[in-house]
Amino acid sequence: MILPLWFTVTTFVGLGALLLVDFVVVARRPHIPSMREAALWVAFYVLLALAFTGVLALVAGGRHAGAFAAGWLTEYSLSVDNLFVFVIIMSRFAVPRANQQKVLLIGILLSLLLRGGCILLGAAAIERFSWVFYLFGGFLVYTAIQLARGGGIGGGHEEYHEGELIARLRGRLPVAEGYDGAKLLTRRDGRRLLTPMVIVFLAIGSTDLLFALDSIPAIFGLTQEPFVVFTATMFALMGLRQLYFLLGGLLDRLIYLSMGLSIILAFIGAKLILEALHTNELQFLNGGDPVEWAPLIPIWLSLGVIVAVLVITTVASLLRSRSTPDQQPAADDAPRRIASRVPDAPHSDEQTGR
């Protein structure tokens, strides 16, 4: 895909400016956004992505625009799934609600950097080794099975397990007993200590890495154009901070989201494997010749499947929640409710990293 230079430069400058504005707003005025403010920002980013789809259709054609839309929806869904884990991490480490905006923003920036690196590595691997589609496809099918069995992408929604490295660091780093705003360092009794925010960021970063390893093969299964892959990923990550506060308890009610994501990832994984067979170059498979019976799934079908699965799982989740109202407390209590299901949830000393 050959794009005009002005379009590429304008796109990345505009997206970078939006992220910078978001960062400056949070740094200068940390606050808990109202429902109205969060809803307006989420609507703005969604409408912006839809508008970009239309512009891309005019500049690059309908096929690439359709690939962007499918990739954006897939990445957005995976990012919402990521929010579940962010909720649990911030609840487990008792992050003050006033500082959660900064934690979310840092988590989103880390996601963008990690996914950007995975995009570059994935594009290079695809260009040099066509058989990498088999690996991507198999990995997505495996992830889909784990999700369907309740394992979750990041280790499951019901619980958060620290990695061995983070657990070791918690026991060895000089961590203060309480938070000092959103600072990473503080002074206590003349000593310079780390705040528990350092451990929170390490936990967020390790989770982001797991999600990046899952999401990038998924979008490469829809398109191999680096520009489309990167812009779809950026649009999917923008607005997640506001979405976190907008959804509130609704996050806990999307009980079928993991099942829907497992279907989407399995579909994309199968699509990748079929494409790999269609352009096969492995000598031990069909003599190195393409497998003629393997069909190529068009992007319009992929987009239709993704939209249908997301709509069905969302509606089914909300209907299920409505049928059991007694089990759905107030929205602003969502983080506490999710944390209460985490086994061995830490008490005050553990929450502060001691």
CA distance 16 to 163: 32
User: Rounded CA gap, 183 and 162, in Å?
Assistant: 22
Taking only the tens place, the pLDDT of each residue in 275-314 is 778 776 677 776 667 677 777 788 888 888 888 988 898 8
Task: Write down the pLDDT at residue 324.
Answer: 64
Please, how many CA atoms are within 13 Å of residue 8, restricted to the half-sphere of its CB? 10
Q: What is the pLDDT of residues 61-113, one digit of tens each?
A: 888 999 999 989 888 888 777 777 777 777 777 788 777 777 877 888 888 88
- At 352, the pLDDT band (50, 70, 90 cuts) reads very low
Structural domain including 235 reads: 5-351
SS (H, E, C) 242-306: HHHHHHCCHHHHCCCHHHHHHHHHHHHHHHHHHHHHHCCCCCCCHHHCCCCCCCCCCHHHHHHHH
Provide the angle, in degrees to the nearest 10, between the axes of the packed helices 62-92 and 226-237. Answer: 40
Return the structure tokens found at 328.
Answer: 């759905």
Residue that is written with structure tokens 């997301």 in the block: 310
Instruction: Name the more confident of 158 and 265.
Output: 265
> Rounded distance, CA 270 to CA 335, Å?
36
Write out pLDDT tens, residues 132-143: 778 888 888 888
Is 301:267 a contact under the CB 8 Å cutoff?
Answer: no
Neighbours of 245 (CB within 10 A): 22
**Tokens at 223, concatenated:** 């398109």
Task: Give me the helix-helix angle, 100-128 and 240-247, nearest 10°.
Answer: 130
In sequence order, the β-bridge partners of residue 175 are 194
Distance CA 52, CA 235 (A): 10
The rounded percent of the chain whose pLDDT value lies above 70 is: 77
Model pLDDT, residue 131? 74
Structure tokens at 36: 């109205």
User: Hey, is 162 helix, strand or coil?
Assistant: coil
Q: What is the pLDDT of residue 346?
A: 37
Residue 31 contacts residue 192 (beta carbons within 8 Å):
no
Phi, psi of 267 (to 5 degrees): -60, -45
What's the chain's average pLDDT?
Answer: 75
pLDDT at 13 (0 to 100): 93
Give the confidence band of 163 by pLDDT, cuts at 50, 70, 90: low
Q: What is the pLDDT of residue 10?
A: 93
Taking the whole predicted model, whether its pTM rises above 0.75 is answered as no
> Shortest CA distance to 117 belongs to which of 208, 17, 23, 199?
208
Under 8 Å between Cβ of 30 and 102: yes
> Residue range 250-276: average pLDDT?
81
Give the confidence band of 155 by pLDDT, cuts at 50, 70, 90.
very low
Number of helices followed by number of strands (H, E) in the chain: 14, 2
Rg (CA), the chain: 21
| Model pLDDT, residue 200 | 83
Q: Which residue has the higher pLDDT, 224 or 346?
A: 224
For the record, the structure tokens of 155 come out as: 């280790």
Give pLDDT, residue 65. Answer: 92
**Cβ proximity of 3 and 60 under 8 Å:** yes
Residue range 110-123: average pLDDT?
Answer: 80
Q: How many whole angstroms separate alpha carbon 181 and alpha carbon 46?
A: 31
Q: Which pLDDT band, with edges at 50, 70 and 90, does 31 fall under?
A: low
pLDDT at 46: 92
pLDDT at 341 over 50: no
Widest CA span in the chain: 73
Tens digit of pLDDT for each residue in 164-200?
556 666 666 777 777 776 677 777 777 777 777 888 8
194 strand-pairing partners: 175, 185
How many distinct structural domains can be found in the chain? 1
The per-residue pLDDT for range 36-54, each reduced to its tens digit, is: 888 888 899 999 999 999 9
- Of 170, 180, 184, nearest to 96 (Cα)? 180
* Per-residue model confidence (pLDDT) at position 192: 79
In angstroms, the CA 229 to CA 238 distance is 15
pLDDT of 51 reads 95
Q: What is the percent of the chain where pLDDT is above 90?
A: 8
